[in-house]
Structure formats: C-alpha cells, structure tokens
Amino acid sequence: MRKLVCIVAIVGMAGAPAAARAQQEHPIQLALLNPVQIFPETDAIRGVRLNLLYGKNSAMTGADFGLVNHTTGDVLGFQWGLVGMTEGGFTGWQDNAVNITKGTFKGFQSGLVNSAASGEGFQWGAVNHSRNFRGLQLAIVNYAERLHGVQVGLINIIKEGGFFPVFPIVNWSLEEGS
C-alpha cells in the first residue's frame, strides 16, 4: 500500500511544473501565428507583445501590437492593431479597427467597431456597442442596452431608460444603476 501511495504522489508531482508554468509572466512576446510564438498562450506578458499575424496569451500588461491581439484574461495598457479581442476586462486604450472586450472595459476604445460587455469611459468609432455603458459614445451608430451618459451620432439607441429609445444626433440617459 505504501508503494502505491508513493507512486501516486510522484505521478501527481510530475504535473506540478506544468501547472506552475501556466502562471508565468514574461517581459516580451513575439508571435507569428499562435501557437508559433516564443511563450505559450497560457503565459501572461508584462511588457511588450508583438503579434505579426495572431498572438494569444492569458493576460497582458503593457503595450500590445499586432494584426490580431487575443487575450483570454485581462489587459492593462495600450493595444493597437487590426483586431483586439479580450475575453476578460480591459483597462487603458484599445485602438484597433475592431475592438471586442467580453468583460468590463475602462478607458478609451477607438476603432471602426467597438464592443464591450460593460464599460466606462469613451467609445469612438463607426459603430459602438455595449450592454451597460457609463460615459460617451461617439459614432455613426451607437447602441447601449443601458447607458449612464451621452451618445452622439447619426443613430443613437438606448434600449432601457434612455431619453428616447432611438434618436438621431444626440441621445442620453442619466439613470443611476446604468
């Protein structure tokens, strides 16, 4: 029985380095097309990330540049490229042609299409979208399910609690809880 316990313990410890590796941070990342990148997608980057075609990491703090920038966790800093996809939260400036933040966004989104599950700050583009936004949306088409702020654009839509549900040029909602 002791031998079995020892074998189970040794086998269990063999997986520990892989689990610890998932938590590593690196100061720089260079990616061609994930998984062809210096560090695996499970690692976080704190510094500079350059994604020539498509790069993916667990988290990013610092400057993020590339064609497609993908993060499964949170981003803190500046992101620039063609497409920025953040599955977690984003704090800072997201400046891509297409910006997608599935978590909470805080800061400035600038691009043709900006989307945040919830957000606080400023969205500037051709199309802005958020389920719950606090701040200013400036675009041709602005959409918010709930808004505490102002929309300026050709078409402005506030699904719940807006001064108007749909209105051209300017629309607003100053309801608390938005």
- How far apart CA 143 and CA 71 sit, in angstroms, is 25
Residue 163 CA: distances (Å) to CA of 40, 92, 111 = 48, 29, 26
Q: Which domain holds residue 68?
A: 25-87
Residues 6+ apart with CB under 8 A from 24: 39, 43, 44
Within this chain, do residues 48 and 113 fall inside the same structural domain, yes or no?
no
Higher per-residue confidence, 13 vs 68? 68
| Mean predicted confidence (pLDDT) in 89-110 | 98
| pLDDT at residue number 3 | 45
The pTM assigned to this predicted structure is 0.85
User: Is residue 31 one of the residues assigned to a domain?
Assistant: yes
Q: How many domains does the chain divide into?
A: 2
Q: Are 67 and 53 in contact (CB under 8 A)?
A: yes
